[in-house]
Amino acid sequence: MKSSEIVKYLPYQKPFLFVDEVIEISENGVIGNYTFQQNEFFYKGHFKDNPITPGVILTETMAQIGVVCLGIYLLKDKISISKKPQIALTSQQVDFYLPVLPNEKITVISTKEYFRFNKLMCKVQMMNAKNKLVCRGSISGMIVTK
């Protein structure tokens, strides 16, 4: 499965799709990016006159790129148009270091810790365009096809 095909199988759509591109993917990890556009729905209220990307959205972005994209790749032989993946976040622990502002492009780097019984656990980090660490942590989820 090509990197460009993975995005088609994601179970998200705008305004809740936070994957622009999967740059690199293998059995052991994934690298992808997303640019937070100025008109994203959450900037209207977070924070008044000083918008920053909420931590929950940063976590979701890391989960979509770092866990879901990788899970789809790992299950590529079981996924098809009729057998789409179903995903459930099971746990996350994330530490935040820098804000992400509107129009900022980030890169997510994920390394597989384990994948067994359809549970995928990854060490994930997010870097800004200046290659500075925005946040990092562990995220796991269950990925099945039906």
Residues with a catalytic annotation lie at 46
DSSP the chain: --HHHHHHH-S--TTS---SEEEEEETTEEEEEEEE-TT-GGGGTSSTTS----HHHHHHHHHIIIIIIHHHHHTTTT--SSS-EEEEEEEEEEEE-S---TTEEEEEEEEEEEEETTEEEEEEEEE-TTS-EEEEEEEEEEEEE-
Q: Across-strand partners of 142?
A: 88, 119
